[in-house]
């Protein structure tokens, strides 16, 4: 049997310094040694439970990282100051001058920009492919390819990657599968499905309160040790260290993640179904007409639902913008980027989170300028929220428009 991510996390007991039920926040950049020989040894190799300097390891960060490893079923994990830090450190650890990455085209805008514009400065080229087309993924692999990169549920189109097929291809070519699971913590367990490394923006669902940015990398003990190596490690040398106060607050929030994910999914499923019934084009993996609905049903940890993200396609940017302004006015949520918050957040990906991607490329990906991406909140009365959205649509008169009524 594969691990149970939520219950395993519930079973992860932490004893604080004085037996506290939460770890003590280690308010120290550096740590003392009773013996100089131990210090010298720690520079040579990792020693479990031994701390040197907070950019290397910090006890509070270690407590959060261990909790993430338990949740993912990985041997180890490392936490970082942002999701982008986790992604850039993991990829830069694996690929250098002359190496290549094969990546899905429909990825987070920041990651796309990192691969497309930043990593080529260091001699790392990325072949972007349609991640749904596994034949194209395999064809893009060259002798220089070090990894396949994808998002388990892609941003913003909510396509669900075939992780077992991608990992099979990666391993047959002797390379790694790196998966960004930011949209689907607990819902999808990439390592159970064959992935080698999972990266997260903890900023989103895992923390859930939008009070900080943070990230994580989960993988083998060997890989995590490589990242913190004092002479060659990407997190050690690039230095995107998470502050221990934040690590402690994220860990506290993470213990309610299973309850929150179920509610996000329940609410998003409800809105997706009701909005689709109005004749609107809705992208949500929990809808029967979503192209990867059956596929996701097979891969997912069922009890957590199909996630909190849905996309409503208003076809035109002006309509998307008007709807978002009305929804903010009607207290549906906030016009803001980011996701995984207890309030609903919405933005138009084409002109915000995916704006790093050129317009022609956006069209190639299937992004429509009228898309409204919604991260559905933890609303207790989602029917009331639905009625508020419906009133906005009624006031805009769009429900009378034939074009929008085409049932997809």
Ligand X SMILES: *Cc1c(COP(=O)(O)O)cnc(C)c1O
Residues that bind ligand X (CB under 6 A): 82-84, 108, 110-111, 151, 155, 180, 182-183, 201, 203-204, 213, 215
CB of 345 to ligand X, least distance (A): 11
Instruction: Using alpha carbons only, give the angle 49, 207, 369 rounded to the nearest 5 degrees.
Output: 135
Residue with Cβ nearer ligand X (183 or 346): 183
CB of 213 to ligand X, least distance (A): 4
Residue with Cβ nearer ligand X (304 or 386): 304
Query: Which residue is closest to ligand X by CB?
Result: 83
Look up residue 30 and give its DSSP letter.
Answer: B
Residue with Cβ nearer ligand X (63 or 339): 339
Q: Are the beta carbons of 178 and 90 closer than 8 angstroms? A: yes
Residue with Cβ nearer ligand X (215 or 377): 215
Name the residue among 68, 27, 72, 26 with its Cα closest to residue 49.
26
DSSP bridge pairs for 199 = 180, 217
CA distance 139 to 116: 19
Three-class secondary structure of residue 126 per DSSP: strand
For tokens 């607050």, the residue is 249
Residue with Cβ nearer ligand X (82 or 127): 82
CB of 120 to ligand X, least distance (A): 20
CA distance 99 to 267: 43
Residue with Cβ nearer ligand X (84 or 374): 84
CB of 183 to ligand X, least distance (A): 6
CB of 180 to ligand X, least distance (A): 5
Q: Are the beta carbons of 94 and 146 closer than 8 angstroms? A: yes
Helices then strands, counting H and E runs in the chain, come out as: 16, 12
Name the residue among 184, 128, 180, 372 with its Cα closest to residue 296.
184
CB of 154 to ligand X, least distance (A): 8
């Amino acid at each position: 049997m594969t691990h149970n991510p939520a219950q395993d996390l519930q079973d992860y007991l932490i004893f604080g310094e004085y037996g506290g039920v939460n770890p003590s926040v280690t308010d120290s950049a550096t740590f003392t040694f009773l013996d100089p020989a131990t210090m010298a040894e720690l520079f040579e190799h990792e020693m479990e439970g031994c701390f040197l300097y907070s950019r290397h390891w910090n006890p509070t960060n270690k407590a959060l990282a261990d909790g993430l490893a338990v949740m993912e079923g990985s041997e180890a994990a490392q936490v970082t100051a942002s999701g982008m830090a986790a992604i850039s450190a993991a990829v830069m650890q694996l690929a250098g001058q002359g190496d290549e990455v094969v990546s899905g085209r429909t990825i987070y805008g920041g990651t796309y920009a990192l691969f497309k514009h930043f990593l080529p400065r260091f001699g790392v080229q990325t072949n972007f492919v349609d991640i749904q087309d596994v034949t194209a993924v395999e064809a893009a692999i060259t002798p220089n390819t070090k990894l396949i990169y994808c998002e388990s549920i892609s941003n913003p189109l909510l396509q669900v990657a075939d992780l077992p097929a991608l990992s099979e291809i990666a391993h047959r070519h002797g390379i790694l599968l790196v998966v960004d699971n930011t949209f689907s913590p607990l819902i999808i367990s990439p390592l159970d499905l064959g992935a080698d490394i999972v990266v997260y923006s903890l900023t989103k669902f895992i923390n859930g309160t939008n009070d900080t940015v943070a990230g994580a990398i989960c993988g083998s003990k060997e890989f995590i040790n490589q990242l913190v190596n004092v002479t060659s490690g990407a997190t050690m040398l690039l230095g995107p260290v998470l502050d221990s106060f934040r690590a402690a607050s994220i860990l506290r929030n993470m213990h309610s993640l299973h309850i929150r994910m179920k509610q996000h999914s329940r609410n998003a499923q409800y809105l997706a179904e009701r909005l689709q019934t109005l004749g609107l084009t809705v992208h949500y993996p929990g809808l029967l007409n979503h192209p990867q609905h059956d596929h996701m049903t097979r891969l997912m940890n069922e009890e957590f639902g199909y996630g909190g993200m849905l996309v409503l396609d208003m076809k035109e940017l002006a309509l998307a913008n008007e709807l978002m302004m009305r929804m903010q006015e009607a207290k549906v949520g906030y016009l803001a980027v980011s996701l995984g918050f207890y309030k609903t957040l919405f933005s138009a990906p084409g002109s915000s989170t995916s704006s790093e991607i050129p317009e022609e490329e956006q069209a190639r990906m299937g992004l429509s300028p009228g898309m409204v991406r919604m991260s559905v909140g933890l609303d207790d009365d989602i029917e009331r929220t639905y009625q508020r959205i419906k009133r906005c649509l009624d006031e805009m008169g769009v429900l009378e428009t034939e074009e929008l009524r085409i049932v997809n």
